Amino acid sequence: MAISKIGFFKKINMSITDFSFYKVIIQESTGKAIIYLIFLSMLLSILPSIKIAYLINDEINYIEQKISYFELKNGELNVVGDMPIFIEIYDNLAIIDTTNQTNESILNNFQHKRVFLITNKKISGRIGTQYREILLKNLKIKDFNKDDLKLILFIIKFIVIILCILWVVLSTIIHKLMNSLFINVVGVIVNLIYKANLEYKDIYKIGIYCMTLPSILISIIGQIDFPNLNFLLFFAYYIIVILYLIKAITEIKKENEINLSQNINNTVN
């Protein structure tokens, strides 16, 4: 079997289901094994990226739905709806009341880290223990309404989702590359215990492919919110990797012993 003819998804399948595959992958270069790990990391990034994109989209849609129709014109804000309006996002709270029936003292009534009061002519805010005030006329905005805000939120949503997906992909790649170095140390120990006499670079390549199954399982199961799940997945991940390392290395050792025995017999004959 020529390693160069094995496609990416077939490598995934064979690294999980066929231990004879590990006798083949040691023929490829270390660089190609690393490229496989990078592509695997990108594949593993799909589910968390979808989850993050969904959460960001849900949060911004919540903001759009929560905000009534408003218009800021010539430094004065008018909002349609019953006042006051409360908009809470994580540890931030915005209170909107353009009827001027709510004053700045309300900022101290909440435990949020950031609390803002928006009236018809100014924005008052408390960030921690510090207070700030901005007059709407100083914002130099002549005309601004909810339709303009929706466009801005759409652009922000798009940019934030793209940046978060890039962060997920890059962090997954870096994490897997770092993890492969640690797994290589484990592989060296397994190699010594079973006296397989494999080269360091071959152990590293075997370790990369042994990461396939546990990485996929954790990527899927890890999206479930469950107490102490990450702790359990951590141990499950390394148990599966070690089992794969032991099986792969011992299979290669047996193959090498058979080949050596055949070479000796051929020499004698």
Q: What is the pLDDT along the chain (269 residues), one digit of tens a residue?
A: 556 678 899 999 999 999 989 998 888 999 999 999 999 999 999 999 999 999 999 988 888 887 788 898 888 898 888 888 888 888 889 999 988 888 888 888 888 889 999 999 999 999 888 888 999 888 877 788 888 989 999 999 999 999 999 999 999 999 999 999 999 999 999 999 999 999 999 999 999 999 999 999 988 887 777 767 777 888 999 999 999 999 999 999 888 777 766 666 666 55
User: Cis ω on the peptide bond leading into residue 84 (within 30° of 0)?
Assistant: yes
- Token readout for 252 is 């290669």
pLDDT on residue 209? 97
In 71-228, which ranges are continuous DSSP H helix? 146-193, 200-210, 212-221
Question: What six digits make up the tokens of 14?
Answer: 């064979």
Residue 110 and residue 93 in contact, taking contact as beta carbons nearer than 8 Å: yes
* Contact between 127 and 114 (Cβ < 8 Å): yes
* d(C-alpha 152, C-alpha 87), whole Å: 18
Is this prediction's pTM over 0.85? Answer: no
- Within 10 A of 223 (CB to CB), how many other CB atoms are there? 11
Neighbours of 116 (CB within 10 A): 19
Residues paired with residue 118 on neighbouring β-strands, in sequence order = 96, 123
Q: How far apart are CA 45 and CA 168, in angstroms?
A: 6
Q: Can you state the angle between helices 212-221 and 8-17, rounded to 10 degrees?
A: 100
Asked whether the beta carbons of 254 and 247 are under 8 A apart, the reply is no
Closest Cα partner for 118 from 170, 70, 181, 64?
A: 70
